[in-house]
A and B are shown apart, each in its own frame.
Chain A
Amino acid sequence: MQENKYVKYTLIGISVVFLTLMLIIPLLVVIVEALSKGFAVYFKAILDPFALKAMNLTLIATVVAVVCNTVFGLCAAWLLTKYSFKGKNILSSLIDLPFAISPVIAGLVFVMTFGRISYLNDFLTANNLKIVFATPGIILATIFVTFPFVTRELIPLMHAQGKDEEEAATMMGASGFTIFRKVTLPNIKWGLIYGVVLCTARAMGEFGAVSVVSGHIRGKTNTLPLHIEILYNEYNFTAAFAVASILVIFAILILIVRNIVEWKNEKEA
């Protein structure tokens, strides 16, 4: 194709303007606003006990959600690509459900299922189990919202690779676990890491679903995004942006990891 210079530079121009307006300026504003009253105020905001608590909770929710979704994602992708069974398409569509429905609804679903109006409530209170408005609810909501990431990353990859290599290993007498460890896992390694990275990014930033199930109890059920919202609503802008900058830093770190993974993956392919 003949490259048209005007088209090329127009497209570059549009991309640059758009990204500057939509991404770079807002991110700069976060940093500038966070540091507007100096480093002392900044560190005070992020070292505030409530902020640290929120950070802790976000990390717990993220780690648990990522671990669960990695295990589930591997199982689902394995099942959907290496086996054929009835209802395969339904299962495949169900996995995408969290992408399709609003996170707020996801939160409400958990409140309905485990909250006071649920049938399970008697059982839960009898056993002294608290799910909604407590850490388990936040974790559940995070898992729900982020569970398609790993699976969706793995399915096209595993589909393209087919099951010939696994069958070849089977013919040589390898057990299911050996096949997974020696054949499948090395082949999907980078796709899996990529899925985990995306899943982590989404889990850390999740707001809607978590907001519904959290109950906004300071120092108890507030995650970082919720803590930022509270600070903001109290007109404590500097602190809000300071805490937000932590999420931004995490996001940038994840982006860097993502790029390294992509680059490694391309180098090996």
Chain B
Amino acid sequence: MYVELKQINKKFGDFKASQDVNFSIEQGKLVGLLGPSGSGKTTILRMIAGLEKPDSGDIMIGGSRVNDIAPGKRGIGFVFQSYALFRHMTLFDNIAFGLTLQKKSKKEIIQKVNELTELIGLTGFEGRYPNQLSGGQRQRVAFARALAPNPKLLLLDEPFAAIDAKVRKELRQWLRTTIGKLGVTSIFVTHDQEEAVEVADEIIITNRGQIEQKGTPLQIYKKPATPFVAQFIGESTIIEDYTKFKGFESNDGAKPKEKGVLRPEFIEIAKDETEILTPLAAEKGIVRAIYFRGNNIQVDIEVKGQPLTGYRTLEQEDLTIGMEVFVLIHRVYTFEGSHTEVIENRIKTEQNSVYI
């Protein structure tokens, strides 16, 4: 394990920013710290960097405890949310700053800076000041500046937050490939799950200063460990009593103790029986609202008094508000305490086995 946090606690006044935070990161991984605003993800990053001191617990980097090591001596490159480029220095001087401090020779500095400007695709811009660069360019300069002193660990605080949507997408891909190419262990903070899923090898989900789950994006999506993760990742509808739906009836007729979570992807909406494979397992519902979302259509439906949300593709036939449709619920998440369970539609699975 390259980076390890052991029993980290941190308070700001009465606010608990970190509570018993434990996790470890393998060398060479690109890890996303994902959580809502105020969930303590930036605090974790700043503590690893040494810009904040934990109240208790150990931070290990490369096998040694770094709690008492100065930020500049931890071998970390840090990319700030605001980029924090030195505004009175040119692009060249910004990237060269860390190298100058390391007392590298002039020749070495020039070579390294040229290498990095080429990597970020800004060759020819060396003489520009930060305010003469676009948001995306500044972000890349900040990235190059952090990489210049050859850090063993790269930390990025909301690296894409201040960039417009289109450039953000390109930069994400670029960052992912570049970090992959360099092989530097990296941790980035984000509140955008799409970003975390797209960029990270592994995601750590934070909530109220605690770690909810750590895993690959697929693991987190398929097997949310806690109710928070299930609701935070992807879109979801909470259902008080899921046993009223076909295929989910409880054996003894008792109401379930736990609420269910339904994702739009778990729901299939069909205009008529021909659009659906297992009509027997489907409920009937009324279309309440339809939203065009660019690459698909979001349909709000009401089934047995319960509002649900599902998607249809643009290829499928149009629905109209008030129409009666078939709604097939494939599965539901439920929680017992902090443990998640996936319940499949029983009728559908039984029917499928008949077909086979």
**Which residues of A line the B interface, CB within 8 A?**
162, 164-165, 167-174, 178, 182-183, 186-187
Contacts and interface: CB of A to CB of B under 8 A. Distances in A.
Given A162-B82, A167-B84, A187-B87, A173 B76 contact: no
Given A170-B71, A172-B101, A183 B82 contact: no
A5 B78 CA distance: 54
Interface of B: 49, 51, 70-73, 76-78, 80, 82, 84-88, 97-98, 101-102, 145-146, 149
Nearest to B146: A171
A167 B101 contact: no
Contacts of A168: 78, 80, 84-86, 145
Nearest to A167: B51
B84 A174 contact: no
Contacts of B80: 164, 167-168
A182 to B, nearest CB: 8
A164 B158 CA distance: 14
Contact of B88 (A162, A174, A187): A187
A172 B51 contact: no
21 contacts: A165-B87, A167-B78, A168-B78, A168-B80, A170-B51, A170-B71, A170-B72, A171-B72, A171-B76, A171-B77, A171-B78, A171-B146, A172-B97, A172-B98, A172-B149, A173-B72, A173-B73, A173-B98, A178-B101, A182-B86, A182-B97
Contacts of B86: 165, 168-169, 182-183
B150 to A, nearest CB: 11
Contacts of A178: 101
Contacts of A182: 86, 97
B302 to A, nearest CB: 50
A94 B146 CA distance: 40
A186 B146 CA distance: 21
Given A171-B71, A187-B88, A164 B102 contact: no
Nearest to A183: B86
Contacts of A172: 72, 97-98, 101, 149
Contacts of B77: 171
Contacts of A164: 80, 82, 84
Nearest to A186: B88
A170 B49 CA distance: 10
Contacts of B101: 172-174, 178
B1 to A, nearest CB: 23
Contacts of A165: 84-87
A168 B101 CA distance: 13
A216 to B, nearest CB: 48
A168 B76 CA distance: 11
Contacts of A183: 86
A172 B78 CA distance: 9
Nearest to A169: B97
Nearest to B149: A172
B17 to A, nearest CB: 15
Nearest to A161: B87
A171 B153 CA distance: 12
Contacts of A173: 70, 72-73, 98, 101-102, 149
